[in-house]
A = this chain, B = another copy of it.
Amino acid sequence: MGLISLSHGSGGRLTRELIREVFLKELGNEFLHPLTDSAILNISGPRLAFTTDSYVVDPIFFPGGDIGRLSVFGTVNDISVMGARPLSLSLGLIIEEGFALEDLRRIVHSIKVSCEEAGVKVVTGDTKVVERGKGDGIFINTSGIGVLEDGIDLSTGRIEEGDVIIVSGTVGDHGAAIMAKRQDLGFDLEIESDCAPLNHLIGKVLSLGEAIRFMRDPTRGGLAGVLAEIAEDGVEMEVREVDVPIREEVQGFCEILGIDPLYLACEGRVVIVSARKGAEEVLKRLRSHPLGRGASLIGEVIGKGKGGVYLKTAYGTRRVLQLPAEYNLPRIC
């Protein structure tokens, strides 16, 4: 039939067939193949980064990506912004009864390709199936492990007055792509998600050492969300609106809907707080990588103590950027 049934999640023979024919076929590797309860990994470094994220994005296929791609890169990026090198992922699926097996295959294949792109492996997994109407197609959890080299310690606590704020490319692409796909705007607007793995790009600047204070990928809440979080730790910043790179089509889309692109999620961008001395080198290295071509210096740290984010608008005015109570964009990732 080609539909997922409750039996596929029951742990019986059909579950094992699904694992073999769909998962192992695409994702098989020496760690995953034994199908034991845990993967056994040899880890070189003494410090590990460990993270988890559930992906409930709606729709599951969108321009520039899909839930599988997102679930690999989202977790790879959460590890990468800690300065760690992502190695291994877990993959936990919650599938709704009646989900098309063809779509599952497509997603698993996308996970395979994305893992190759990022240089990571799925080493352990789990599949559950819930009754029709008790889920929504497919939800994916990926947890990830990365190795953190000695001497790397990125945190808001290391940010100093005079530091600069850099973003690696245009902001809001992912959020706009999802929203545009969801809404029928009555005209053709092709916005692609920026969904991409950041580990290789971040690797290019990590070796600059002390100059790199802090990194974060602006997902839910967008650039504004990341800045507001840094501000919560007592950092005062000024950001110049005109210097924030925004795609023309994203800007246009936001103007039509009356939303602020600074709050829209990215899935392939990193915000870096860097020492001013060294910022030119950071920009140069970012721009030498395909994912960092649009890197831009967007603002400065103007003080510490009572945190805050000030936006210098294109009209020369200055307004406070807030972390809103909500983003009105459920299921963006």
Contacts and interface: CB of A to CB of B under 8 A. Distances in A.
A46 interface: yes
Contacts of A136: 130-131, 134-135
A125 B12 contact: no
A259 interface: no
A84 B38 contact: yes
B12 A124 contact: no
A141 interface: yes
A310 to B, nearest CB: 19
Q: Which of A12, A130, A323 has the most CB of B within 10 A?
A: A12
A303 to B, nearest CB: 22
A178 interface: no
**Which secondary structure characterizes the binding site on chain A?**
mixed
Interface string A155-169: 100000000000000
A16 B125 CA distance: 29
A158 B40 CA distance: 17
A284 to B, nearest CB: 26
Q: Which of A54, A135, A136, A148 has the most CB of B within 10 A?
A: A54
A325 B14 contact: yes
Given A90-B50, A94-B56, A78 B38 contact: yes
A50 B6 contact: no
Interface residues of A, number: 79
Interface stretch (A21-29, A218-226, A237-245): A218-226
A149 to B, nearest CB: 12
A186 interface: no
Contacts of A101: none
Nearest to A265: B11
Interface in A76-123: 77-79, 81-82, 84, 88, 90-94, 123
Contacts of A145: 48, 50, 145
A328 B330 CA distance: 34
Given A11-B221, A11-B327, A141-B143, 9 more contacts: A10-B328, A12-B220, A12-B324, A37-B78, A40-B148, A50-B124, A52-B143, A130-B330, A139-B139
Interface of A: 5-7, 9-16, 34, 36-44, 46-56, 77-79, 81-82, 84, 88, 90-94, 123-126, 128-131, 133-136, 139, 141, 143-146, 148, 155, 216-217, 219-221, 225, 323-331
